[in-house]
Amino acid sequence: MNGAQPDVLVLVATKARMKFADAALSYQFQIRDGGNVVYDSKVVGGFANGPDNVQHTPSVVLTPDGTFTWRARAIFQGAAGPWSSDATFKAPVGGFIRDNELFDPLTGGKTVGTIVGPAQFTGEGLLLGAHESHVTYQLPTTLTAGEFSLMVKGADEGAEGDKSKVFSMQQGFDDITTNSYRFTGELRGRNYGGGPGSISCRMIAGDRVSRDCDRSQRSFDSSRWYFWRVSWNIGGSFTMEVRADGDSGPVIYSQTKSLGGRTYQPNPHILYLGAPIGRGGSLDATLPGGVYKNVYAGPNARPAFPQ
C-alpha cells in the first residue's frame, strides 16, 4: 500500500520463505514518523501454511492524514531477518471514541456519533438541516477536565431560531433544559427578541445553579468557518470562546465563569453537535443550517485536523 491512505490501517507483508522447508516464522512490524519509531509490534504470529501474505492491524493512534513509513521482518527461533524496504502511507482520517476522548473529522461521509434528524454529508462536513437535527456522542468515561471543540459555518443570526444551540452536553438523556449537568453553547437566531446573533453559554455542575455567560451580539458570515470551544477544569471554572477562521483565528467571544468549587462530572457523559429538543421547544434546539467538521473532546491538547 505504498503511498495509500486506507480507511482502516492494516499492514500486509509478503510471507518470507525458508530455502529448504516451510517453517513457522514470526514477524515484527514497525511504523516510523521520520526517524522515530511510533509503533513496534514486537514478535507476532507463527505463520507457516496459509496465504502468502501476512496481515497485521497495529494498535496505535496516529495523527490523522499524517505521512508515515512502515517495514517488516521475519523472525525464526529468535533470529531476525533483514528489514523490508520502507513503504509510505497516510494515516486514516477516521474518528474514534475512546475512554474520555472523541475525535470526529466528519469527512468521507462518516461519523463516530449517532445522527438524529435531517442531516447530510457535504464535501466540507456534516450539515444539520433542522431544529431537531443533532449528532449524539456518548463518552465511556466522564471527561471531568478538558475541552469540547469544533468548526462550524452556515449557522448564523439569519437562521430561524430563538435560544438556539451550536453544541451542548448533559448527563444522560433526560430534558436538556433542566438537566443537572447541562452545558449549552448558544447562538441566538432571528426569532430572538434580545438581539439575533447573540452568543451566550450556560453550565450547571450538578447543583442546579445556572452559570450563565454574558450575551454578546455579533454578525456572522455564513460562508466563513468559526471555531467554538468550551473548556473546563476540576473545581475551578469553564471558558467558552468563539474564533473566526480556526482555533488560532481572531477571538470574537470569550467568557470564563467560576464553577464555585464544583466539578463538571456528568455520568453518563453525553455530547451533542446542536442539541435535542427540550422543554423550551424546537426554536431553542439546534440552529439549523450549520455545517460541522473537526470535532474533538478530551483531556489532551486539540489535535491537528486535515484541512
Query: Residues 80-122: pLDDT tens digits?
Result: 999 999 999 998 877 889 999 999 999 778 899 999 999 999 9
Q: What is the DSSP letter of 284?
A: G
pLDDT (mean) for 257-284: 97
CATH of domain 11-90: 2.60.40.10
pLDDT digit string (tens) for 7-26?
Answer: 678 898 887 776 656 677 88
Measured between alpha carbons, how far is 205 from 182 in angstroms, rounded to an integer? 7
> Is this prediction's pTM over 0.95?
no
pLDDT of residue 183 exceeding 70: yes
List residues bridging with 55 in a β-sheet: 12
Measured between alpha carbons, how far is 265 from 176 in angstroms, rounded to an integer? 15
pLDDT (mean) for 136-142: 99
pLDDT digit string (tens) for 36-73?
Answer: 999 999 988 765 555 667 889 888 878 777 899 999 99
**Whole-number pLDDT of residue 224:** 96
Out of 90-94, 128-132, 227-231, least confident range: 90-94
Q: Report how far Cα 283 is from the mean position of its chain's Cα atoms.
A: 26
pLDDT digit string (tens) for 187-204?
Answer: 999 999 889 999 999 999
Report the chain's mean pLDDT, rounded to a whole number: 92
pLDDT (mean) for 117-134: 97
Q: Are 286 and 168 in contact (CB under 8 A)?
A: no
Name the residue ranges covered by the structural domains of the chain: 11-90, 96-298
Q: How many CB atoms lie within 10 A of CB 37?
A: 9
**Whole-number pLDDT of residue 48:** 53
**Whole-number pLDDT of residue 46:** 66
pLDDT digit string (tens) for 289-300?
Answer: 999 999 999 999
Residue of 307 and 165 predicted with greater confidence: 165
Neighbouring residues of 307: CB distance < 8 A, sequence distance ≥ 6: none
pLDDT (mean) for 157-174: 96
Measured between alpha carbons, how far is 107 from 119 in angstroms, rounded to an integer? 14
**Whole-number pLDDT of residue 95:** 87
**Whole-number pLDDT of residue 221:** 94
CATH of domain 96-298: 2.60.120.560
**Whole-number pLDDT of residue 150:** 98
Percent of the chain residues topping a pLDDT of 70: 95
pLDDT (mean) for 194-217: 96
